[in-house]
Amino acid sequence: MLDIFDMHTHSIASGHSYNTIYEMARGAADLGLKALGITEHAPALPGTCHALYFSNLYVVPRELSGVKLYLGAELNILDYEGRVDLGPAELKRLDIGIASMHPPCLTPGSCKELTHAYICAMENPYVQVIGHPDDGRYLADYEEMARKAKEYHVLLELNNSSLKPGGYRQNSWENARAMLKHCERFGTKVIMNSDAHVVSDVGDHRFAWKLVQETGFPEELVVNGSLEELDGYLQR
């Protein structure tokens, strides 16, 4: 199938990533990608940019090296009520909002608490993607996640970094497989993302794609072939 964009990457502004947005865009162009999402870690993660970075994003051109740029944030889910670490003033300026759970920002709770947190985050109109829901350190109920993601028109991510050999998240293959099973049942769409922190990883969806093929997951439920379809999710 067509795979024309990567919507979850980090530039040097995220503090533990290594390339500028210009280098990232050039890398995406070299791969023939039509669009690139740069989603810096939101302020609760140590070492990333300040909230002001996000409210000033309007100064950055939305096309570089012939690649359409979507500038957004990877928001941290802060509690079991699904609160995130940017307010409406910044959120409304983002092209894309991914909500994820990260160890320094959220203490792992019970499956019930974490599922509730993810679902509350999905209710936030500025959240359009749930990032790396495969992370076994934050194990959620994939049946409920897939059902609600469909209802709220939110994409669940197949995170290539999680699936890489030596990936530090836990049981990602097994969890992503379970998630896909329920997504297929409910017709919930997924997005393949690299979560690149260095330009050489931009556009790398090899392991996500391997999982799609291995499970026989319907390709029409993977949005990476159509920018129009992606945009339909971003205009919630």
Q: Which of 11, 17, 76, 100 contacts Zn ion by CB under 5 A?
A: 100
Count of Cβ atoms closer than 10 Å to residue 57 Cβ:
18
Do the strands 63-64 and 67-76 form a parallel or antiparallel pair, or are they unpaired?
antiparallel
Number of H-type helices and E-type strands within the chain: 9, 8
| 207 versus 213: smaller Cβ distance to Zn ion | 207
DSSP H or E segment with residue 78: none
What is the Cα–Cα distance from 172 to 92, expressed in whole angstroms? 31
| 37 versus 119: smaller Cβ distance to Zn ion | 37
Per CB under 5 A, the segment of 72-80, 149-157, 185-193, 204-212 that binds Zn ion is: 72-80
CB of 123 to Zn ion, least distance (A): 20
What is the Cα–Cα distance from 234 to 39, expressed in whole angstroms? 14
CB of 216 to Zn ion, least distance (A): 28
74 contributes a contact to Zn ion by CB under 5 A: yes
Residue type, 153: H
Residues that contact Zn ion, how many (by CB under 5 A):
3
Q: Which of 195, 202, 203, 209 contacts Zn ion by CB under 5 A?
A: 195
Per CB under 5 A, the segment of 96-104, 118-126, 162-170, 172-180 that binds Zn ion is: 96-104
6 contributes a contact to Zn ion by CB under 5 A: no
CB of 187 to Zn ion, least distance (A): 26
CA distances to 8, 32, 33, 54, 162 from 26, in Å: 16, 10, 10, 22, 24
Per CB under 5 A, the segment of 56-64, 92-100, 140-148, 223-231 that binds Zn ion is: 92-100
Q: Are 143 and 177 in contact (CB under 8 A)?
A: no
Per CB under 5 A, the segment of 95-103, 108-116, 179-187, 205-213 that binds Zn ion is: 95-103
Q: What is the rounded radius of gyration, in angstroms, for the C-alpha atoms of the chain?
A: 16
Nearest to 140 by CA among 108, 168, 186: 108
135 contributes a contact to Zn ion by CB under 5 A: no
Query: Measured between alpha carbons, how far apart are the two ends of the chain, in Å?
Result: 26
| 108 versus 184: smaller Cβ distance to Zn ion | 108
| 48 versus 188: smaller Cβ distance to Zn ion | 48
List interacting residues with Zn ion (CB under 5 A). Answer: 74, 100, 195
